[in-house]
Amino acid sequence: MVLMGGRSAEREISLKSGQAVLKALQELGHEAIALDLTEDLCEKLRETKPDKVFIALHGPYGEDGRVQGLLDILGIPYVGSGILGSSIAMDKDITKKVLSFHGIKVPKWVCIRDEKEELNWDIYPAVVKPADQGSSVGLFVVKDQKEAEEAIKKCFKISKKVMVEEYIEGKDITVGILKERALPPIEIRPRKGVYDYESKYTKGMTEYLFVEDEDLTQKLQEIALLAHKSLELKDLSRVDFRVGKDGTPYLLEVNTIPGLTELSLFPMACKRVGIDFKGLINMLLF
């Protein structure tokens, strides 16, 4: 069974990921069906009694440990990280605290938990984003206090916790982890300069290049794998970095359910090492 859709701002992307996974499972010969995350999800799971669930849900309810907890209660096995790792990685604030404890460098940050809370921040430019969303939903790059405060108000419309983060001038690079193996790093070059929702999901808006520097590749892979293990993750994840102009990697966030659409980076990295999409899905099942 493939769980897809859900209630988050990333619903449309989840549906695309889910359909791609469903097609691959059916072509591999499995009796696979799709199921949306609706209010009667528990009843449907008990009726269908799936052997295993492939969670293709992005964002709240699907990627944050809640649906994982339901599946655990029902005794249904699933692909991916469990409750603990999912819930920690979904909260960018808690993630940074755990990673910092393990010596992983992250950008400076503060979190705002109330719209009326005064912003105590003086590092600009800065990034403002919800602390518990993915796919660059609600991401703003701001140049001063006024812009930051306006962005925070917009973020509170979709989240109860907003992060203000140091903007690192440099390159966006991501590293996938598949079954405890670090995949080749991919540099992301958005044409508009910021890797936002539009740049991620619009064809032609972003250029993707595999990192050729062997030393940087090794460093990023080691950090990504350490982050994956430190957050108690399982099966797969995608670790996003910003590499400063001096070559210092800053870990931005960790995605426990990477996108699996035609434009997604995780399948792209797998293909680089000889794992096609159906091979990837098959590996994740076992």
Annotated active-site residue 253? The verdict is yes
What is d(CA 20, CA 28) in angstroms, rounded to the nearest whole number?
12
Annotated active-site residue 181? The verdict is no
Annotated active-site residue 240? The verdict is yes
What is d(CA 30, CA 283) in angstroms, rounded to the nearest whole number?
14
Annotated active-site residue 118? The verdict is no
- Tell me how many helices (H) and strands (E) the chain has: 10, 13
Q: Which residue in the list 5, 59, 138, 259 is annotated as catalytic?
A: 259
In a 13 Å sphere around the CA of 277, the CA atoms on its Cβ side amount to 20
Q: Which residue in the list 81, 187, 238, 250 is annotated as catalytic?
A: 238
Helix 265-272 × helix 277-285 angle, to 10°: 100
Annotated active-site residue 238? The verdict is yes
Tokens representing residue 172 in the block:
């966006």
H/E stretch holding 175: strand 170-178
Q: Which residue in the list 201, 237, 242, 250 is annotated as catalytic?
A: 201
Rounded (5°) CA angle 82-87-244: 110
Annotated active-site residue 259? The verdict is yes
Annotated active-site residue 264? The verdict is no
For residues 275, 57, 232 and 48, what is the CA-based torsion angle, rounded to 10 degrees?
-90
Q: Which residue in the list 8, 135, 159, 230 is annotated as catalytic?
A: 135
Closest C-alpha to 195, from 268, 140, 154: 140
Q: Which residue in the list 196, 240, 250, 264 is annotated as catalytic?
A: 240
Tell me: cis bond preceding 249? Omega within 30 of 0 counts: no
Q: Which residue in the list 5, 10, 172, 187 is annotated as catalytic?
A: 10
Annotated active-site residue 272? The verdict is no
Q: Which residue in the list 63, 187, 196, 253 is annotated as catalytic?
A: 253
Q: Which residues are catalytic?
A: 10, 135, 201, 238, 240, 253, 255, 259
